[in-house]
Structures are given as C-alpha cells and as structure tokens.
Structure 1
Amino acid sequence: MSPSLSPGLLGDLDPTSDRAVFRQIADQLREAIDRGRFREGEKLPSEAELVDHYGVSRMTVRNSFSLLTGEGLVHAEHGKGVFVRPRPPVRRLASDRFARRHREQGKSAFLVEADATGSHPTVDSLEVKEEKAGPDISARLGSARRVLARRRRYLLDGRPVEFAVSYLPLDIARGTRIAEPNPGPGGIYARLEELGHRLDHFDEEIRARMPSPTEVKTLQLAPGVPVISLLRTAYDTEERAVEVCDTVMAADAYVLSYRLPAT
C-alpha cells in the first residue's frame, strides 16, 4: 500500500520554473524517498493519484517514473505499480573482510559479510578452468602466461549481488584443492596459506561505471544501476602476487566501509 497523498507529503508545481514539469514531479518524489516518506519496498502513489494531485497528464507522470527508474531509485512491477528499490543491504568492511581470524574460523569474506546482514548467502555459476592470461592479469602475476581461473556469482537471499573471477598462477594452484569447485572452509585464501603462501597484504583498485549488457543479465540489474568494479591483487610475505581477483558488484547492493589509520 502506498501512503495516502496527505497534505505536505508532496508539494505543488512551480509554474514560474523553467524546469520541465515531469522533472519537478520526479524531484519531489526523489526528496520524499530520501526523507523516508516512502520506505524501501513501498509502493509510490499511482499514476491516477499523481495525475489528480498535480493536474497533469498520465504521460507526464510516466516520464517522471521513467526518470527515477533510470536513476535506480524505483522499479515497476507490471500490473502492481512502482516501488522504491531496496537500499544497500551489505556493508563491505574493506579493512576487516580478509582478516586471518575469519579464515581460521572457516569463513570466506563473503560469508562474513552475509552473516553481518543476517542474509542467506549462496554461490552459483561456478567455473574452474585453466586458460591463457590476459596482458593485464599476466603482468600483475609476474608475467604468468597461463592461469587457473575461478568464476562465480554471489547471491544474498537469492538476489545476485556480485560476480568475481580469481586468477592464480598454475604452479601454485594446479592439482590442489584450489582447482576443485569447492576449495573448502575459508576459501582459496585459506588453501593458499596451507600451501605455504602466508598472505601479507592486498592491493585494490576501485572504480564505478555503467555495466555491460552481460553484466546487466548476470547481476539482474535494473535500468540505470551502475556497478562497482574492483581489481584486487593478493601478495604473500615473499611479495609474490598469488592471486588477482576481478570483481563486479551491483552498486545498489553495497556500502563500501573503510577504517584508515590517522598516523
């Protein structure tokens, strides 16, 4: 049920403004969403309600909804209406997610984050194979020509939120549990340390961009939702790069949280 259009919930149009009417309506709906007047998962007023409230045409209201949909704020359900999209459910604790204590407890980084949200995590679309390394991956792994590639998609409560590919040198990964579909408790980082590659640090590069058509399909992204592209290189205590992970995350599913030292 959407909230009734009580006085003050949405304002009036400004006839003196040079801003298009449909944009003014979108501005008011956006502000109402930001202020929590329309909560996550809640239905917005119907086209008919907004037509009556603003005295505009249905096409004008539809253009307002299209603008908000393109921003990733709302989504339409056929025959039901337009709803506020859920806000980020996952707080990605970048300074803690790869802590050794989690691996020692048999937990991967994704499982740690899922536990913090109370969500049910699953992994699918898993592919493990040897392949030729691309130029960038090869350079990051010390000129490795062939690598073991592990591809997987992560879901929370059945919703795809992340797709990742890990590339590992064959002289490390071939013939080990890392080359198996399920590497075991703690994930591949726990297996690397068992093989003598004690992890020392990770370098990450992060950027935001619009998704490719394949990424839209894989992550089931709504129109207008960008992705976070994260490229991570893991180093052992000998300063050897032992893994490069190329991750694409649905930007509306994550908050990136960091703790940085002040000294």
Structure 2
Amino acid sequence: MPEAKNRTPSDAADPRPLHERIATDLRREILVGDLPAGGRLPSTEKLKERFGASSASIQKAVTMLKSEGLVEGRAGSSVTVLGVRRQPLTPAAYSKPAEDGSSYRWISEAEKKGRRPSIRILDVAEVCPPADVRAAFGLPDEGAAVLRKQLLSLNGEPCELVHSYYPLDLASGTALADRAKIKGGSPTLLAELGYPPLHTVDQVTAEEATNEEYEALQLPRQVAVLRTIRTVYSTDGKVIEVTTMAKAGHLYSLQYDF
C-alpha cells in the first residue's frame, strides 16, 4: 500500500472532525482491501503519527469502524479487520420476469450467491407519490398511484428499502394493490397483465439517509445511501413502474455490465 501523507487538524480543506476524517480514510482502505480481512489496523502510535492526531481522536475513529462491523478489538490494543466488503448487486439480473414457477429473480439471484434473502411488505396503499415519481408518470401535482413499500434483507440484515409505484389504471384490482407477496415478483405479473417490462432507466445518486431509511436499514450512523430511481417502460413507451431504492452505501455497490 502506498505510504499515506501525514495530516494535521489544520488541513482546513476538510471541515469534518478529525476522527471522522480518520475513519473515512481507514474505511476506504478496508473496503478496497488495502487493509485485508484478518489483518490488524496500524497501531495507535502509527495512526497518531500518520494523521497528526491525539489518542482520543484515534479511539473515536476506531469506535466508528467497530459500530459499522468493519473492525473488532480495543483501541490501544490490537484491532482486527473483519471480512467485510461491499456486496455487489446487479440490477440487470432482477428486472426480467421470472421463469415459469420460479421465485422473484431478486430472491433466486441472491440464493445463487449463497445468500439468504427475504422480503417484508411494509405497506400497500393508494398515495400521492413524490414529485420525481409523479414527473416520471406524467401525473399532476395531486395525482395518485399504487405504492408497494418493501424491506429487502440478506442473511437477516436489512439491505434495501424499496418504494414501488404503479399507475392506478394498471394496478387497481390486481395483485399489485394487495398486501401480499406476488409470485415471481412484479415483473412477472406486469408481463401477465399485458405490460412486459421492455426498457428500464436507472438514475443513481449518493445521498444522506432520511429518517425512514436510517431506521429501516438500521444504519450505524448518518452514512450515505445509494438512491436509485428506476423507471420501467412497456409497449408504446408506457411507464408501468417507478421504483425508488435505498441501500447503505458502505455495505453495497451496484454492478453494471456493458
């Protein structure tokens, strides 16, 4: 690993508290593998020298990393890096209808990778969507859509908060409007209703977590989330679904193959 430059609290370009800056640099090195799983963090003395910091600042930084499940141990003693990496999620693998009799593709793809997936329905209701969702549908300010809100988990840990919206003329009277899981997932049902998903556009941003996201995803602190707004088109360019998805940015990545 290339030698890092020493930093001091007088580095005015970054206004964050020094312990947060230290944790940020060490977190990146853990996630990319420069500080490998099973290895040890540099000693407190070495970190003090590298960052121009006090023991208290180093201890606060290590405490942050411990709360995120990235390290274990006690500051001032040996601190071990845990085997944690951002888990890549592949959106393109989940958008197609499931094969006959198969599970929703998000479930089946996770199982292929040895993960234990689960989906919990939090709400199904007719609502006025946020402005960006209304814009995608071409709805007026007071326009309504059917919302399906779900929490996705892997290995018992929440990984994604999902808000999926559907046009009233499409969803009313169908399983999309029922508070029950849909066999094969919404792409399969939409295809059965005569609206196969033909084209999908994802817009991904990194944002601070909302209160709802913070609680649902059980974030250790105010970390960034990856927010995706997905617009799904069918025959004749009809928008059949708009979904917003939030994932913890320090635990997951999005993988796209071109």
Instruction: Answer whether TM exceeds 0.5 for this pair.
Output: yes
Aligned length, in residue pairs: 241
SS of the residue 2:216 aligns to: helix
SS of the residue 1:124 aligns to: strand
CA contact (8 A) 2:225 2:248 kept: yes
- Correspondence 1:241 to 2:239: yes
- When residues 192 and 27 of structure 1 are mapped into structure 2, their CA distance, relative to the original with a 3 A threshold, is closer
CA contact (8 A) 2:159 2:247 kept: yes
Match of residue 219 from structure 1: 217
SS of the residue 2:179 aligns to: coil
For residues 174 and 78 of structure 1, what CA distance do their matches in structure 2 show? 56
Cα distance, 1:67 vs. partner? 6.8
> Which of residues 37, 44, 48 in structure 2 aligns to 1:50?
44
Match of residue 116 from structure 2: 120
For residues 189 and 101 of structure 2, what CA distance do their matches in structure 1 show? 13
Question: Equivalences for 1:77-226 in 2 at 5 Å?
Answer: 84=81, 86-89=84-87, 91-100=88-97, 102-104=98-100, 106-143=102-139, 145-223=143-221, 225-226=223-224
CA contact (8 A) 1:92 1:256 kept: yes
Letter in 2 for 1:213: N
Cα distance, 1:32 vs. partner? 7.0
Cα distance, 1:131 vs. partner? 1.6
Cα distance, 1:69 vs. partner? 6.5
- When residues 26 and 181 of structure 1 are mapped into structure 2, their CA distance, relative to the original with a 3 A threshold, is closer
- When residues 185 and 82 of structure 1 are mapped into structure 2, their CA distance, relative to the original with a 3 A threshold, is farther
For residues 75 and 125 of structure 1, what CA distance do their matches in structure 2 show? 33
Match of residue 12 from structure 2: none
- When residues 68 and 174 of structure 1 are mapped into structure 2, their CA distance, relative to the original with a 3 A threshold, is same
Q: Which runs of 5+ in 2 are unaligned?
A: 10-17
For residues 197 and 29 of structure 2, what CA distance do their matches in structure 1 show? 47
Match of residue 8 from structure 1: none
Cα distance, 1:219 vs. partner? 0.4
Match of residue 19 from structure 1: 8
Match of residue 4 from structure 1: none
- When residues 35 and 142 of structure 1 are mapped into structure 2, their CA distance, relative to the original with a 3 A threshold, is closer
- When residues 82 and 247 of structure 1 are mapped into structure 2, their CA distance, relative to the original with a 3 A threshold, is farther
SS of the residue 1:191 aligns to: helix
For residues 77 and 103 of structure 1, what CA distance do their matches in structure 2 show? 47
Larger radius of gyration: 1
Identity %: 24
Cα distance, 1:94 vs. partner? 3.1
Normalised to the residue count of structure 2, the TM-score between the two structures is 0.74
- When residues 63 and 244 of structure 1 are mapped into structure 2, their CA distance, relative to the original with a 3 A threshold, is same
For residues 32 and 143 of structure 1, what CA distance do their matches in structure 2 show? 45
